[in-house]
Amino acid sequence: MRLRVGVIGLGPAWQHRHRPALMMMRDRFQVRAIYAPVAHLAAQAARDFEAETMDGYRALIHRSDIDAVIVLDSSWQGWLPLVAACEAGKAVYWASDLNIDAQRAAELKEQVDKSGIAFMAEFPRRYAPATLRLKELLATKLGKPQLLFCHRRLRHSDPTSNNLVSDVPQHQERTTRELVEIVDWCRYVVADNPTHLNSTIYGGPGQETYRQLSMRFGTGPEAVCAQISVGQYVPSSWHEAIGFRPSADMQICCEHGLAFIDLPSTLVWFDDAGRHVESLETELPVGEQLLIQFHRSVTSLVRKMANLQDAYYALQVIRLASQSAETGQRICLTELFNPTPPI
């Protein structure tokens, strides 16, 4: 089945992820309309796909020849495109920011539930070739995970860009987005939900430069621990320092070995036989993997809500991490809404 889709916003990953994926998957997706705040960018993208440009997101969503909506950048509209898609009964691929207050997140989850639409939040780390290969190694060579380390050193945001959706500073929104994705990534790799967490924040309110989370999966000697940190602590003027010796995107210690992941397609792992280097450049790119999953969720006769629940769960974890940082206390997550762990 070929899905007729409309694209809202182009987003920072348009050129290197979404555009190539949509080009390669024209047998499954036909881009019929594009809306973006910058008119000349929308016109250029529309020419590439022989699509129409639209003056607004609502007009795009309510077109009769649109089956699904791909939201790559919601800009000033925030979550309004999702609300409009629920009203119109259109499936949604959401690649824009996930940051939203807890009450509104619960309301949106309920609205999507009631509308019956297919919804997929973009978690690119899950479907990176290196992650998929790691899951194979955990099942065959490396054994059960024991310790995970994920560190992200972010570049400073463009000071000329404005946050028109909320009063939260843009660097704080970027940090939250990274944390949400990494929390989901760790759940996906461990295939379980965390039971406890504690967190630390460096910097005053609105001036945060570093966040650290420690998540524990399970109890006793078999428990798995994940250390996550995200920060923008290097001054933007120190150009050489920002990219100096970046940490692996994930370092994971297992029962029978150790692995290092550099997204999207480099994996180095060690066991008793020594070092193994795998470059997975020839594997299906992340963008295409994600679109395949979205196509399946839309065309399947069985409605899949796990992705929406995973996004909602990760947001709850980040909210509670902020609470832990404020109080200095460890927080139990067992009473939290616990969806089935991603596998």
- pLDDT tens for 11-27 read 889 999 999 999 999 99
The pair of structure tokens assigned to 129 is 């070739």
Per-residue confidence at 162, pLDDT binned at 50, 70, 90?
very low
pLDDT > 90: percent of the chain: 66
Per-residue confidence at 157, pLDDT binned at 50, 70, 90?
low
Per-residue confidence at 159, pLDDT binned at 50, 70, 90?
very low
Q: What is the pLDDT of residue 168?
A: 47
Per-residue confidence at 300, pLDDT binned at 50, 70, 90?
confident
pLDDT at residue 90 tops 70: yes
**Is the previous residue joined to 339 through a cis bond, with omega within 30 degrees of 0?**
no
Per-residue confidence at 206, pLDDT binned at 50, 70, 90?
low
Per-residue confidence at 169, pLDDT binned at 50, 70, 90?
low
Q: What is the pLDDT of residue 170?
A: 63
Per-residue confidence at 104, pLDDT binned at 50, 70, 90?
confident
Q: What is the DSSP letter of 72?
A: S
Residues 6 or more apart whose Cβ sits within 8 Å of residue 335: none
3-state helix, strand, coil in the chain (%, to 5): 40, 25, 40
Interval 186-196 mean pLDDT = 95
Contact between residue 107 and residue 83 where contact means Cβ atoms under 8 Å apart? no
pTM comes to 0.89
List the single range of 89-103, 273-287, 315-329 with lowest mean pLDDT.
89-103
- pLDDT tens for 263-279 read 999 999 999 999 999 99
- pLDDT tens for 312-334 read 889 889 989 999 999 999 999 98
pLDDT > 70: percent of the chain: 92
Q: Edge-to-edge strand order for the sheet containing 210-217?
A: 274-279, 266-271, 258-262, 250-254, 145-153, 224-231, 210-217, 196-202, 331-332
pLDDT at residue 246 tops 70: yes
Give the mean pLDDT of the chain: 89
pLDDT at residue 166 tops 50: no
pLDDT at residue 111 tops 60: yes
Q: Within 10 Å of residue 55's Cβ, how many Cβ atoms?
A: 10
First-residue to last-residue Cα distance in the chain: 26
* Separation of alpha carbons 83 and 64, rounded Å: 17
